[in-house]
Amino acid sequence: MEVFDRPASCFGDRRSRAEIELVVIHYTAMENAEAALERLCGSEFEVSAHYLVGRDGTVFRMVPEDKRAWHAGVGSWAGRGDVNSRSLGIELDNDGMSQFTEPLMAKLEVLLSDILDRHALPPWAVIGHSDMAPGRKRDPGRHFDWRRLAEKGLSIWPAPLPGGDFMRDAAAFGYPVHVGKGAILSAFRQRFNPNADGPLSKEDEALMAGLARGFPAEVA
């Protein structure tokens, strides 16, 4: 896979010798890849990521994998914070309102497969920005095809199970439940039940139970 280097200004060392345990998926919410690269590689906004995948499938590397990019911000997963120190961040060239292009998705699959293989990470190590920062972030959003990734072993998709307790199961899966049920439900639906609306449903409960019982929160 061809990767083009566009070095970022904002990054540092991984703290406390943290190892890579997670891959966090984002969308850029910008007009195009070049605009996103200018923002992610500059110093003004104090933000960066390890990779950006363009709508045409071009892959850019901004921060070396052994360094801590500034992509996740405040949040936690599986009861632990400083997600930046224990993750890789992948930005996707998407405005947040459109479908993700086929060239982008195809190249993301190649990139994720390579990352998971090299770092010996399981499929459940791939999460969305909204998963670890519910209520604060919405990317990669309801248009992102998580099921497609799961079918290729690059993410997960739950089999519904009866008798679940939504918030207890959310905590067991890894969600930071201290932010409240509303934020967790929104983040969960963006990823696993994107057509749902309204109050918490039995379908939501069953899908969350499938996540809690099928996939461990510990990712390393």
pLDDT score at 217: 58
CATH fold for domain 3-151: Lysozyme-like (3.40.80)
Residues carrying an active site annotation? 91
pLDDT score at 214: 87
Query: Is omega for the bond preceding 140 within 30 degrees of 0, making it cis?
Result: yes
pLDDT score at 123: 96
**Tens digits of pLDDT across the chain (220 residues):** 999 999 999 999 999 989 999 999 999 999 999 999 999 999 999 999 999 999 999 999 999 999 999 999 999 999 999 999 999 999 999 999 999 999 999 999 999 999 999 999 999 999 999 999 999 999 999 999 999 999 999 999 999 999 899 999 999 999 999 999 999 999 999 999 999 999 999 999 999 999 999 886 544 3
For residue 11, which of 81, 53, 62 has the smallest C-alpha distance? 62
Q: What's CA 107's distance to the chain center, in Å?
A: 16
Residue range(s) of every CATH 3.40.80.10 domain in the chain: 3-151
Strand order in the sheet with 3-5: 3-5, 59-61, 51-53, 87-92, 22-27, 126-128
The pair of three-digit structure tokens given for residue 87, joined into one six-digit string: 């993750």
Put simply, whether the predicted model's pTM sits higher than 0.75 gets the answer yes
For residue 82, which of 73, 91, 93, 90 has the smallest C-alpha distance? 73
pLDDT score at 216: 64
